[in-house]
Amino acid sequence: MNTTTIKRAMVRYVADLDMDADDPREGDDEVTILIYRGAWTEECDDNTGPIPTFLHVRDVYVGNGDRDDVALRAAQHWANVYGEGEHVAMKTLRGYSQGDWWDCVAVGPSREVVDDALGIFQMWLRRDVYVVARESGKVCNLGHTHWTTDDATGGIYAESKEEAIEYYRAEYDGGA
């Protein structure tokens, strides 16, 4: 009869890309972000508000040889007059390869909120979203390590796997 006994226990953290991460714009009622030019673009379903105004003004000015910043100023003016103090921003978000770029227009209650939302959206576009798992390992008398997942959390936005693990440990594992 061959029996297995546990010699020692250990813990490890494993991070992997969260390929099922939801678009962060889906649950955000504070900031509206639209990609209007880039690796892929979107249509705006709403015909009122600062974003369609920006797109219309941009098309008029760009058609006349002017720049997007003129359209941005016009949309910002529209938002300030009619949007009850909303902030409008235009930003190019970049991926990790040369062909990954998206020109976005965003509208929100303040510059800080809009900048934060654009930063998170850029991380999502780059796939800088991770699932981190805490695993327990046990070494048997045969010298093999047997790992079991104790807990896993997805939707962690981080620049690297190491940063995702640090965040997980601080937020979910008591800073261990």
What is the SS3 assignment for 146-161?
A: EEEEEEEEEEEECCCH
Cα–Cα dist 15/129, whole Å: 10
Instruction: Give, for all 176 residues of the chain, the pLDDT tens digit.
Output: 444 444 455 899 999 999 999 989 888 788 888 887 776 666 655 555 556 666 665 666 555 555 666 666 766 676 666 666 677 788 889 888 888 888 888 888 888 999 999 999 999 999 999 999 999 998 888 988 899 999 999 999 999 999 999 999 999 987 65
Which two structure tokens, joined as six digits, stand for 166?
Answer: 């640090």
User: Domain extents for the chain?
Assistant: 6-20+129-172, 32-126
Cα–Cα dist 138/23, whole Å: 37
Q: What pLDDT sits at residue 6?
A: 47
The structure's pTM equals 0.74
Q: What pLDDT sits at residue 5?
A: 44
Architecture of 6-20+129-172 per CATH?
2-Layer Sandwich (3.30)
